[in-house]
Amino acid sequence: MDVLVGQLLELLDHLAIERTVLYGTSLGAAIIACFAARHPERVLACGFEAPLIRPPPSHKLTLLAVAARVLPPLARWLGRVAMVPAMRARGDSFGDDVEARVLSDRFRDQFEVLGHEADLLSLLTGNAVRGDRTQDHVAIGARALPVSFAYALSDAEMPRALVERTIALHPQPVRPGQQMRQFRWRQCGGG
């Protein structure tokens, strides 16, 4: 996680962006939560979509993380034979229309880039997915940063109850179904 948060900080520095609104989906939501907790002075607001807070105990990612701690070669092997193919196949779940197929093709094409699979395995067996982002949300909530959440009511990877407990850590979150105008964009410098 440290590398990903560091890369985001370097990107904002390189682009000379002092403060920004961050939006992340799944692992991206975990990255921006960690970033906002560590660098609140750089964040105007956060949007979390299907946020990875921590993998459920029985989830493949949790099993892979345990294997990475106990026997790293086993974790790399499991990642190669189970996780990477599953992630490649995930691109097929984007839908059947033309736009979804284009996105799906792009998603699968990135696996052809030299080094992508190794980076993905490093990510899956490192602390990025096995960490618990709850304390990051406690820190964000304590600073009352504006946040918005979108999540599924039935999702095996991002359990609804966990997301709702996390939302409760924030003083004024925007929840699914609320009007975005309640998100106080003007306070963030938006229109």
Please state, rounded to an integer, the average pLDDT across all residues of the chain.
81
**How far, in Å, CA of 167 to CA of 164, rounded?**
5
* Residue 169 confidence (pLDDT) above 90: yes
Confidence of residue 34 (pLDDT cuts 50, 70, 90): very high
- Residue pLDDT, tens place only, 108-156: 788 788 887 777 777 766 666 667 899 999 999 999 999 999 888 877 7
2-54+132-188 CATH choice from 3.40.50.1820, 3.40.1180.10, 3.40.250.10, 3.30.429.10: 3.40.50.1820
**How far, in Å, CA of 35 to CA of 22, rounded?**
9
* Nearest by Cα to 145 from 29, 12, 31, 41: 41
What values do phi and psi take at 115, rounded to 5? 95, -15
- Residue pLDDT, tens place only, 79-96: 777 777 777 776 677 677
Confidence of residue 16 (pLDDT cuts 50, 70, 90): very high
Domain ranges in the chain are 2-54+132-188, 60-128
Confidence of residue 77 (pLDDT cuts 50, 70, 90): confident
